[in-house]
Chain A
Amino acid sequence: MNFWRKLTRFMGVFGRTPRRRKVRALLVGLNNAGKSTLLHRLKADRERNVSRKPIAPTIGFTTDTFLFNNVKFTVNDMSGRDGYRSMWEPMYAQCDAIVFVLDSTDQLRFAVVKDELDMMLRHPDVAARPGLPILFVANKAAAPDACSASTVAGALALHERIEPDRPWRLATTDAAAAPGQPVDDGLREAVEWLVDTINVTDRR
Chain B
Amino acid sequence: MPYVVRNSMWIDVDINSPINLQTYNCCMTLTDVHGDNDNKFVVVDFGSGSSSPQIKIFKGLKQTHIIHLNEKPSAIVTVYTDNSDQHIPCIAVVIKNEIYFYRNCKPYHKYSIHSTTLKDTEECKLWQETEGAFDLLKHLQVLSSTIGFVNLSTTSQQMLCLNECYIEEYFLKHKKNKLMKQHTITCVTELKRNLADVHGVSCLVIATTDKISILDTESFKILPDKYELQGETAYMCAIGLYNVDYKILVATRTGRLYIFSKSSTSGYKVEVTHAIVAVILRIDKFICCTIDGLLQCYTLKCVSLWNVKLPGDPTCMTNMYVKSMSLEFTIVSCITSNVDGLTKGLILMFSGSTIVHKILMPDPVTCIMFGKFGQEENALIMISSKSKVDIKLLKRTATFDLCARPTLTAPTPGNLSIPKRSNVFIEQTLREREHCNEMHVRTQQTWQTLQIIVLNERINSIKQKITNQFLHTSAQLLGLGPRFKIRFFLKNLSKEPLIGINVAFLYNAQYHTIESPSCSMPIIVPDKEIYCETFVTFCTYGGSDERAIDIVVSQRANILYRAKVNMPVYNIQTNIEESNKT
* Chain A residues at the B interface, C-beta cutoff of 8 Å: 30-32, 82-83, 85-86, 103, 105-112, 114-116, 118-119, 145, 155, 157, 160
- In the complex formed, the residue of B with least CB distance to A116 is B396
Q: Is the CB of A111 within 8 A of B324?
A: no
Smallest CB–CB gap between B392 and chain A, Å? 9
- A157-B377 contact in complex given A106-B60, A108-B13, C-beta closer than 8 Å: no
- In the complex formed, the residue of B with least CB distance to A57 is B37
> Which of B374, B375, B376, B378 has the most chain A CB atoms inside 10 A of its CB?
B375
Q: Is the CB of B61 within 8 A of A108?
A: yes
- A115-B13 contact in complex given A108-B60, A108-B373, C-beta closer than 8 Å: no
15 example contacts (A-B, Cβ-Cβ < 8 A) are as follows: A32-B38, A82-B324, A82-B378, A82-B396, A83-B324, A106-B375, A108-B374, A109-B60, A109-B375, A111-B4, A112-B393, A115-B11, A119-B397, A145-B59, A145-B62
Q: Is the CB of A107 within 8 A of B62?
A: yes
Q: Is the CB of B393 within 8 A of A109?
A: yes
The verdict on B339 contacting chain A, using a C-beta distance below 8 Å, is no
Q: Is the CB of B1 within 8 A of A115?
A: no
The verdict on B328 contacting chain A, using a C-beta distance below 8 Å, is no
Q: CA–CA, A105 to B1, complex, Å? A: 22
Q: Is the CB of A112 within 8 A of B11?
A: yes
Q: CA–CA, A112 to B13, complex, Å? A: 8
Smallest CB–CB gap between A34 and chain B, Å? 12
By the criterion of a CB under 8 Å from any partner CB, how many residues of chain B are at the interface?
24
The verdict on B395 contacting chain A, using a C-beta distance below 8 Å, is yes
Q: CA–CA, A106 to B11, complex, Å? A: 15
The verdict on B391 contacting chain A, using a C-beta distance below 8 Å, is yes
Q: Is the CB of A108 within 8 A of B11?
A: no
Partner of B11, one of A31, A103, A111, A160: A111
- B361-420 residues with Cβ-Cβ distance < 8 A to A are 373-379, 391, 393, 395-397
Q: Kindly list the 7 A-B residue pairs having the minimum CB-CB distance in the complex, ordered from nearest.
A: A108-B60, A111-B11, A32-B375, A111-B13, A107-B61, A108-B374, A82-B324
Contacts of B11 in A (CB 8 A): 111-112, 114-115
Partner of A105, one of B14, B60, B324, B373: B60
Q: CA–CA, A103 to B62, complex, Å? A: 15
Contacts of B228 in A (CB 8 A): none
Q: Is the CB of A115 within 8 A of B395?
A: yes
Q: Is the CB of A108 within 8 A of B391?
A: yes
- In the complex formed, the residue of A with least CB distance to B60 is A108
The verdict on B210 contacting chain A, using a C-beta distance below 8 Å, is no
Smallest CB–CB gap between A20 and chain B, Å? 38
- In the complex formed, the residue of B with least CB distance to A86 is B396
Q: CA–CA, A109 to B13, complex, Å? A: 7
Smallest CB–CB gap between B57 and chain A, Å? 13
Q: Is the CB of B4 within 8 A of A109?
A: no
- In the complex formed, the residue of B with least CB distance to A114 is B4
The verdict on B533 contacting chain A, using a C-beta distance below 8 Å, is no
Q: Is the CB of B4 within 8 A of A115?
A: yes
- A160-B4 contact in complex given A107-B61, A111-B393, A145-B62, C-beta closer than 8 Å: no
> Which of B1, B61, B373, B396 has the most chain A CB atoms inside 10 A of its CB?
B396
Contacts of B396 in A (CB 8 A): 82, 85-86, 115-116
- In the complex formed, the residue of B with least CB distance to A105 is B60
Contacts of A112 in B (CB 8 A): 11, 376, 393
The verdict on B550 contacting chain A, using a C-beta distance below 8 Å, is no
The verdict on B12 contacting chain A, using a C-beta distance below 8 Å, is yes
Q: Is the CB of B377 within 8 A of A82?
A: yes
Q: CA–CA, A16 to B524, complex, Å? A: 95
Q: Is the CB of A109 within 8 A of B374?
A: yes
Smallest CB–CB gap between A147 and chain B, Å? 11
Smallest CB–CB gap between A86 and chain B, Å? 8
Q: CA–CA, A30 to B377, complex, Å? A: 12
- What does the 1/0 interface line of B339-379 toward A look like (CB < 8 Å)? 00000000000000000000000000000000001111111
Q: CA–CA, A108 to B390, complex, Å? A: 11
Q: CA–CA, A109 to B14, complex, Å? A: 9
- In the complex formed, the residue of A with least CB distance to B1 is A157
Contacts of A108 in B (CB 8 A): 13, 60-61, 373-374, 376, 379, 391, 393
Q: CA–CA, A112 to B14, complex, Å? A: 11
- What does the 1/0 interface line of B314-327 toward A look like (CB < 8 Å)? 00000000001000
Smallest CB–CB gap between A145 and chain B, Å? 6
Q: Is the CB of A111 within 8 A of B12?
A: yes
Smallest CB–CB gap between A81 and chain B, Å? 9
Q: Is the CB of B4 within 8 A of A106?
A: no
Smallest CB–CB gap between A159 and chain B, Å? 11
Contacts of B62 in A (CB 8 A): 107, 145
Smallest CB–CB gap between B455 and chain A, Å? 60
Q: CA–CA, A32 to B374, complex, Å? A: 10
Q: CA–CA, A131 to B378, complex, Å? A: 35
Contacts of B4 in A (CB 8 A): 111, 114-115, 118
Smallest CB–CB gap between A126 and chain B, Å? 16
Q: CA–CA, A157 to B14, complex, Å? A: 12
- In the complex formed, the residue of B with least CB distance to A109 is B376
Q: CA–CA, A20 to B37, complex, Å? A: 42
Contacts of A105 in B (CB 8 A): 60
Q: CA–CA, A30 to B38, complex, Å? A: 14
Q: Is the CB of B375 within 8 A of A160?
A: no
Q: CA–CA, A109 to B395, complex, Å? A: 11
> Which of A107, A109, A111, A114 has the most chain B CB atoms inside 10 A of its CB?
A111
Partner of A160, one of B1, B60, B378, B393: B1
Q: CA–CA, A30 to B61, complex, Å? A: 17
Given contacts A82-B396, A103-B375, A112-B393, list 20 more A-B pairs with CB under 8 A.
A30-B375, A32-B38, A82-B378, A83-B324, A86-B396, A106-B374, A107-B60, A108-B13, A108-B61, A108-B391, A109-B374, A110-B14, A111-B11, A111-B13, A111-B14, A111-B393, A115-B4, A118-B4, A145-B59, A160-B1
Contacts of A31 in B (CB 8 A): 375
Q: CA–CA, A194 to B396, complex, Å? A: 30
Contacts of A115 in B (CB 8 A): 4, 11, 395-396
Contacts of A30 in B (CB 8 A): 375
- In the complex formed, the residue of B with least CB distance to A103 is B375
Contacts of A107 in B (CB 8 A): 60-62
Smallest CB–CB gap between A111 and chain B, Å? 5
Smallest CB–CB gap between A37 and chain B, Å? 15
Q: CA–CA, A155 to B16, complex, Å? A: 10
Smallest CB–CB gap between B76 and chain A, Å? 21
Contacts of B393 in A (CB 8 A): 108-109, 111-112
Smallest CB–CB gap between B121 and chain A, Å? 56
